[in-house]
């Protein structure tokens, strides 16, 4: 059998790396296709490190890859893939050891990842390496359907996404997963739209923000990146009002929201609006 060697992603041509990534993920559970431009943007947004991420190389060909993001003392494995002809040879396991060694070399305290629930082999590998299950993350979708009007309950207005992210920490007592955490959303803010739920204060001086939604919308698709609500508000109802507003603006749009944590206070709002779980991921963590 040919020898497989392991190297930093920074040491290979990024175009070749992108091509190999698409090959490895062409039969994945959800459709993934990256261009070099979109991949570089993703790596910047999610703080993925070219130096700490790994490629597996055999006969001068990239046959596998694993991505490691770093924020403060926490790491995140944002993708582990092997092209079909080289699977079941232990390459994934070796890449995981490589990534965890990189995490230890940087004195990280914790490494997180997500695995699709039905990907039992990958889930078993991560558990063998010491990762433990933390919670479920839901990939929610919704087809166009009639919806009740909640506009009489709350005032909802377009708002600057960067300004709304000023409420992120206070409105997220339950942490968002990596790709929906503040560092990722702040880099996406210039490209997103934002909506705020407003509550006029008793003195009539200003409007208090009770919640917000961030994402992309058009008449074909609503893609929600974050919904957050004031901890002292009726959180599920505020979330429902935001979703209702978007669906009434775009009644023919299909909608999705990825990696909504099962313990997120607005989880129930998605269910109340008829969202269904397309798939679930398991968020896992390893203490180093």
pLDDT in tens, 38-52: 999 999 999 999 999
Across the range 167-176, mean pLDDT stands at: 96
Contact yes or no for 285/132 (Cβ under 8 A): yes
Cβ of 2: how many Cβ atoms within 10 Å? Answer: 8
Strand partners of residue 228 = 212
pLDDT value at residue 278: 96
Q: Above 60 in pLDDT, residue 203?
A: no
Q: What is the pLDDT of residues 74-116, one digit of tens each?
A: 999 999 999 999 999 999 999 999 999 999 999 999 999 999 9
In the block, residue with structure tokens 């910047």: 44
Mean pLDDT rounded to a whole number for the chain: 94
Q: Above 80 in pLDDT, residue 225?
A: yes
Between CA 114 and CA 179 the distance in angstroms is 11
Listed in sequence order, the residues at least 6 apart from 96 whose beta carbon sits closer than 8 Å to its beta carbon are 66, 77, 80, 125, 126, 129
Grade residue 204 by pLDDT with cuts at 50, 70 and 90: low
Relative to beta strand 254-261, strand 221-229 is parallel
pLDDT value at residue 15: 98
pLDDT value at residue 148: 78
Across the range 193-207, mean pLDDT stands at: 75
pLDDT value at residue 147: 86
pTM: 0.94
Q: How many residues does the chain have?
A: 288
Strand partners of residue 57 = 5, 62
What is the percentage of the chain residues whose pLDDT exceeds 90?
A: 91
Report residue 30 as tokens.
């959800």
- Domain parsing of the chain, residue ranges: 4-108, 140-281
pLDDT value at residue 200: 66
Least confident of 107-111, 117-121, 202-206: 202-206
Listed in sequence order, the residues at least 6 apart from 120 whose beta carbon sits closer than 8 Å to its beta carbon are none
Using CA of residue 35, residue 41, residue 46, residue 48, what is the dihedral sign?
positive
| Domains 4-108 and 140-281 are alike in CATH topology | yes
Q: Above 80 in pLDDT, residue 201?
A: no
CATH code, 140-281: 3.40.630.30
Contact yes or no for 2/59 (Cβ under 8 A): yes
Which residues in 63-95 are b (16+ Cβ under 10 Å) and which e?
Answer: bbbbbbbbeeebbbbbbbbbbeebeebebbebb
CATH code, 4-108: 3.40.630.30
Q: Above 60 in pLDDT, residue 134?
A: yes
């Amino acid at each position: 059998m040919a020898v497989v060697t392991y190297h930093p992603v920074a040491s290979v041509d990024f175009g070749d790396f992108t091509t190999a990534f698409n090959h490895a993920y062409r039969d994945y559970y959800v459709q993934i296709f990256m261009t070099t431009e979109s991949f570089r943007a993703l790596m910047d947004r999610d703080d993925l490190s070219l130096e700490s991420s790994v490629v597996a190389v055999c006969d001068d060909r990239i046959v596998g890859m694993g991505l490691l993001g770093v924020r403060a003392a926490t790491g995140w494995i944002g993708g582990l893939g092997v092209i079909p002809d080289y699977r079941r040879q232990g390459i994934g396991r070796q890449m995981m050891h490589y990534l965890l060694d990189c995490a230890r070399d940087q004195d990280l305290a914790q490494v997180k990842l997500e695995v699709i629930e039905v990907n039992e082999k990958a889930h078993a590998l991560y558990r063998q390496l010491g990762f433990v299950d933390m919670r479920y993350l839901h990939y929610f979708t919704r087809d166009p359907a009639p919806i009740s009007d909640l506009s009489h309950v709350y005032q909802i207005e377009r708002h600057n996404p960067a300004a709304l992210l000023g409420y992120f920490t206070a409105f997220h007592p339950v942490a968002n997963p990596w790709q929906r955490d503040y560092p990722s959303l702040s880099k996406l803010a210039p490209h997103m739209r934002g909506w705020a739920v407003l509550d006029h204060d008793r003195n009539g001086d200003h409007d208090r923000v009770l919640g917000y939604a961030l994402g992309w919308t058009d008449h074909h698709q609503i893609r929600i990146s974050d919904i957050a609500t004031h901890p002292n508000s009726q959180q599920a109802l505020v979330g429902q009002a935001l979703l209702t507003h978007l669906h009434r603006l775009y009644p023919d749009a299909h909608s999705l929201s990825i990696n909504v944590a099962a313990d997120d206070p607005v989880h129930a709002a998605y269910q109340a609006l008829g969202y269904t779980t397309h798939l679930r991921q398991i968020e896992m963590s390893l203490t180093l």
